[in-house]
Structure 1
Amino acid sequence: MSTISLCLLKGVAGRLCALRRLLNRPEKIVSTRAKDVEPASFKLINKCRYTVWPGLLSGAGTAQLPTTGFALNSGKSKTINIPRSWSGRIWGRTTCAQDSSGKFSCQTGDCGSGKLECGGSGAIPPATLAEFTLNGAGGLDFYDVSLVDGYNLPMLLIPKKTTNGLCGATGCLIDLNGACPKELKLAARENGQVGIACRSACEAFGQPQFCCSEAYSTPDTCSPSVYSQFFKHACPRAYSYAYDDKTSTYTCANTDYVIMFCPPPYSSQKLLGRRKDGATLPLVNKTMMYISSKHASSASSSGVVPVQLIAGAASIVVAVLLYWPSLLPL
């Protein structure tokens, strides 16, 4: 009886034949496994009118990426492949320069390495952070945009795959530097009046009730402060303090991501969809919209302007005109 005929038999003989045929085709097994471990693609886009220097830091127990820092000119993008098992942070550094001794530093988001590459060092607050745990519990990616360590520039985080209740966009689209409370404002070195970043209350005051530490180290004892509510009002989907999990953590599975610095202004609930818990939080407060400043160090209150939103179809039209064109090259 031929091998093919044997494989057509029912029962044990047929199953053994099928198994032998599978084992004799290792290329099929290899290709399937290779697909399972394909890296995630992270596309970083700079829509700011100034250069941004992204920094990347791997979490504890996760190997540092080959690239931990680079320059991203205005209007440019860069795609990085990241292992599916990765966890860590990505942020943007601003107003960076190299001094006469060759030391590299940035006025916001600096990692203290003295070099373009951060090499395992994280962002010095204040900095807007994109945080990831890929392939976590249940095989899901967990991600968020955090203002817990303060804010330095607008950021939009978008998973390329969208599913109802999952894979939502998140971020902070508002230029908060001009509107930042005086006691939280980080001023430019060359001009003490110009705000270039907004510190968290924890960093500014160091008190346990703002840092969710000591007697305030649990969700029941650490409540939102007037300062964290300032961040939450402007950026409803971003983390505003340590226990802001319910409306700030997002999940997706086996997808790629886009991180956009200084995203174009838009507002549309239809594009954002619903969260898994049913919330329909906008990415931006309905009375505020981001308008890019020409230079990172020239942010002012003009960056945050009240706008009169038009309901219904008009809002969707604005979103289509301003949001989708920015994503066409993805």
Structure 2
Amino acid sequence: MAFKTALILLLQVSLLAAGVISEDVVFVFQNQCPYPIWLSSGVATGYTNLKMKSDTSKTYTMPYTWSGSIWARTNCSYDKTLNFSCETGDCRSGSIICDSLPAIPVTLLNFAINQSVVHYELSLKHGFNVAAKIQPDGGYLVDGGFGDCPAVGCVADLNHVCPPVLSFSNKNGANVGCYSPCDKFGPPKYCCNVPGCHPDPYSIMFKHLCPSAHVYPGDDRPPIYGCTGFKAINVIFCPIV
């Protein structure tokens, strides 16, 4: 029996090393914003405890195969009819559980999980509502990359520098989001997505402030990174710099 157990363990280790059996894909969400947020995803992750108070964290084991967007909703509440809605990032479902992409403007954190490999990017292509950063804990790049897995994000609060023509205000007149030029004004001038096109001045400003984020439709710098061998993927909202 002991020999059989040892043989099974040896086989599992061999399969793990070969990538046939994967370790858990752990995401650690941290809310460093001075206000609560509600986690959201366009594709179900199986989690329902989505509210995060300020200065708290949640650890989730993600599905082995999963692809979708994650974002933060702000200033959420139920009305008298128990309809759930949020000031930014609203799912437009009337429920705390999302089943669709959010209302814009919104900061999107995009992931593709395939066993132990996670591809990730932070996108401002549909605007900005909350500063965020994706920071793998360890790991190394795959799929054409090499070296350590870098952090990507937009740690600047673009709501403070958003041009008035792009600003999204709440019912009290406070600026709580910033539209992307492409969503606000449309193509072709503001939706650079073909070879040889030049980003508009607004996109250039946002790229300068958030160089590791993808800002306009044709923005592919940096590439979408693929990472493996990490302890966890840290997702930090309102990262302290």
Q: TM-score, normalised by structure 1?
A: 0.64
4+ aligned runs moved over 6 Å, structure 1: 21-24
* % same residue: 36
Q: Which residue identity does 2:119 align to in structure 1?
A: F
Distance 1:43 1:57 in 2: 18
Distance 1:229 1:170 in 2: 17
Structure ID, larger Rg = 1
1:107 has 2:87 as partner:
yes
Q: Greater shift after overlay, 28-37 or 103-112?
A: 28-37
Correspondent of 2:212 among 237, 250, 255:
237
Distance 1:142 1:74 in 2: 27
Distance 2:223 2:201 in 1: 18
Quick one: structure 1 residues 166 and 84, their matched pair in 2 at CA, closer, same or farther if it must change by over 3 Å? Answer: farther
SS at match of 1:177: helix
State the match for 2:138 in structure 1.
161
Q: Greater shift after overlay, 94-103 or 25-34?
A: 25-34
Which structure has more helix as a fraction of its residues?
1
Distance 2:225 2:10 in 1: 34
Correspondent of 1:98 among 69, 74, 78:
78
Quick one: structure 1 residues 121 and 23, their matched pair in 2 at CA, closer, same or farther if it must change by over 3 Å? Answer: same
SS at match of 1:29: helix
On the 8 A contact 1:239/1:248 being kept in 2, the answer is no
On the 8 A contact 1:69/1:117 being kept in 2, the answer is no
State the match for 1:188 in structure 2.
170
Q: Which residue identity does 2:167 align to in structure 1?
A: K
Quick one: structure 1 residues 68 and 150, their matched pair in 2 at CA, closer, same or farther if it must change by over 3 Å? Answer: farther
Deviation at 1:178, TM superposition (A): 1.8
Deviation at 1:171, TM superposition (A): 0.5
Q: Which residue identity does 2:138 align to in structure 1?
A: K
1:56 has 2:41 as partner:
yes
On the 8 A contact 1:87/1:134 being kept in 2, the answer is yes
Aligned length: 230
Quick one: structure 1 residues 234 and 73, their matched pair in 2 at CA, closer, same or farther if it must change by over 3 Å? Answer: same
Distance 1:56 1:48 in 2: 19
Quick one: structure 1 residues 41 and 70, their matched pair in 2 at CA, closer, same or farther if it must change by over 3 Å? Answer: same
State the match for 2:110 in structure 1.
131
SS at match of 1:228: helix
Which structure has more strand as a fraction of its residues?
2
1:45 has 2:8 as partner:
no
Deviation at 1:122, TM superposition (A): 1.6
Quick one: structure 1 residues 131 and 153, their matched pair in 2 at CA, closer, same or farther if it must change by over 3 Å? Answer: same
Deviation at 1:203, TM superposition (A): 1.6
What runs of 5+ residues in structure 2 fail to find an aligned partner? 141-145
Distance 1:248 1:27 in 2: 38
Distance 1:236 1:39 in 2: 31
Relative contact order (C-alpha < 8 Å, sep 6+): which is higher?
2
Distance 1:248 1:93 in 2: 26
